[in-house]
């Protein structure tokens, strides 16, 4: 679970404030970008299968849309908070800007646990959500997508309800849809593959052969799985994977020193990324405590689960062998831990750069949906690779030029692009 001692929105604003100081931003621009342009809080009464009505709390936040329509996923999680959604929407603004796609930042969430709900209950919840938001979202304003515990089926229920209300066919109003119903080929792999494209370029500039590297991954949802698949395909060796076990309600680390098989692990996980412990043992995996992924003697740590996982309290557990922390999750490292990472000489690939492959491919899906013309999978992945490679080198080059931390460089690149947009529009 996320560390409750840290507020993600406080973290996001602290990171922004630090970058704003480096950029010497004026006060009015700081005030604009520290706040959200729009926040919507609402409740959703939903009829459950047993005949009772349950009230769910929901959110939709737009941080900034100066560079284009707002973009951001919808999360279903029992521990969702308003400040998590606020932080994620702000990070989406920087994420879109750092890879230079013409979108702004948004995020949505519903406090619920889909693991305990039937499909009919989930469908009614999705339709209720968009009924409240239909006048505020759309391909030219705010484009939702899947996020934690949501998927293509949820997006299709939302799209269907939206089109029923508006009387139009608008597949570009939401992304993450199934292929054949307006979804893009390559979207399933995009975030994880984008992580590895950044990691590959990082290893190149550090003159490290990927074939000689090992990695430890936290999480085994979609992002972690495809990160592991691509990293292994390119010659790396995943030593262990840590993830939440739904049956035991505790996290475990699954280790195989001669290398985990991502396809094998994917065959024994559920739709929420929970690996079956007994099946893993039968396949020869050691089962260790959930935090053991941090202390493995590997070259690369890839946090790909929840925010606030790498803190000053746990940093001493990290092996001296670690050379790179590649943030596949949103906000996995707390701001007070960044100085420790710098002092240790560990290269960090910041989250909103590393995991921007997902929103990049979502943008591709949005473009294809608006054109009603779809690209081949290879074309999508080729375009994604170009975007991610260029984004990494833009950030790395600035970090080298100014001799600054990679997270600082990424924020400077992203924030400067958003500042240019808001100033050109005359907002400040």
Q: Which residues are catalytic?
A: 107
Contact 225, 262 (CB under 8 A): yes
8 Å CB contact between 148 and 117:
no
Give, in order, the Cα–Cα distances in Å from 196 to each of 61, 128, 149.
29, 37, 23
- The sign of the CA dihedral 51, 156, 98, 337 is positive
Nearest to 393 by CA among 195, 213, 205: 205
Residue 73 and residue 145 in contact, taking contact as beta carbons nearer than 8 Å = yes
Strand partners, 303: 218
User: What crossing angle do the helices spanning 357-371 and 82-98 adopt, rounded to 10°?
Assistant: 80
174 DSSP 8-state letter: S
H-type alpha helices, 206-344 = 222-233, 262-266, 277-282, 338-343
- End-to-end CA distance of the chain: give it in Å, rounded: 39
What strands lie across the sheet with 300-303, from one edge to the other? 286-289, 250-255, 237-245, 214-218, 300-303, 324-326, 347-349
Give the residue among 46, 215, 55 at the shortest CA–CA distance from 118. 46
What CA–CA distances, in Å, run from 107 to 44, 195, 250?
A: 17, 21, 28
Give the integer Cα–Cα distance in Å for 180 and 219.
29
**Spatial distance between the Cα atoms of 125 and 157, rounded to a whole number of angstroms:** 9
Rg (CA), the chain: 21
Residues facing residue 244 across a β-bridge:
251
- Taking alpha carbons only, the member of 10, 2, 1 closest to residue 336 is 10
H or E stretch at 200: helix 187-205
């Amino acid at each position: 679970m996320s560390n409750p001692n840290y507020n993600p929105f406080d973290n996001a604003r602290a990171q922004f404030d630090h970058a704003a100081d480096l950029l010497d931003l004026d006060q009015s621009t700081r005030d604009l970008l520290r706040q959200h342009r729009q926040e919507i809080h609402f409740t959703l009464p939903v009829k459950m299968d047993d005949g009772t009505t349950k009230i769910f709390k929901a959110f939709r936040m737009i941080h900034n849309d100066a560079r284009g329509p707002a973009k951001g996923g919808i999360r279903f999680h029992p521990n969702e908070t308003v400040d998590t959604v606020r932080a994620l929407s702000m990070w989406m603004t920087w994420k879109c800007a750092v890879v230079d796609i013409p979108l702004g930042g948004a995020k949505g969430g519903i406090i619920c646990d889909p693991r305990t709900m039937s499909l009919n209950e989930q469908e009614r919840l999705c339709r209720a959500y968009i009924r409240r938001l239909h006048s505020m979202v759309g391909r030219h304003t705010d484009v939702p997508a899947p996020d934690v515990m949501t998927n293509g089926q949820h997006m299709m229920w939302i799209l269907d309800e939206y089109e029923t209300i508006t009387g139009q066919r608008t597949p570009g109003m939401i992304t993450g849809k199934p292929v054949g119903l307006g979804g893009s080929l390559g979207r399933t792999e995009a975030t994880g593959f984008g992580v590895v494209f950044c990691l590959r370029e990082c290893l190149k500039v550090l003159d490290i052969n990927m074939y000689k590297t090992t990695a430890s991954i936290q999480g085994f949802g979609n992002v972690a799985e495809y990160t592991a698949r691509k990293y292994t395909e390119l010659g790396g060796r995943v030593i262990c994977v840590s993830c939440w076990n739904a049956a035991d309600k505790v996290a475990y680390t699954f280790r195989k020193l001669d290398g985990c098989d991502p396809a094998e692990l994917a065959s024994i996980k559920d739709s929420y990324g929970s690996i079956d412990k007994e099946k893993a043992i039968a396949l020869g995996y050691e089962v260790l405590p959930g935090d053991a992924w941090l202390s493995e003697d590997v070259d690369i740590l890839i946090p790909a689960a929840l925010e606030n996982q790498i803190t000053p309290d746990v940093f001493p557990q990290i092996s001296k062998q670690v050379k790179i922390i590649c943030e596949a999750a949103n906000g996995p490292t707390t701001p007070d831990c960044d100085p420790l990472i710098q002092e240790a000489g560990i290269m960090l690939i910041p989250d909103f750069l590393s995991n921007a492959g997902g929103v990049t491919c979502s943008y591709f899906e949005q473009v294809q949906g608006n054109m009603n013309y779809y690209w081949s999978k290879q074309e999508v992945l080729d375009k994604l690779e170009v975007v991610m490679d260029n984004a990494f080198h833009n950030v790395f080059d600035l970090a080298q030029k100014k001799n600054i931390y990679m997270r600082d460089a990424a924020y400077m690149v992203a924030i400067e692009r958003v500042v240019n947009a808001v100033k050109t529009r005359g907002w400040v």
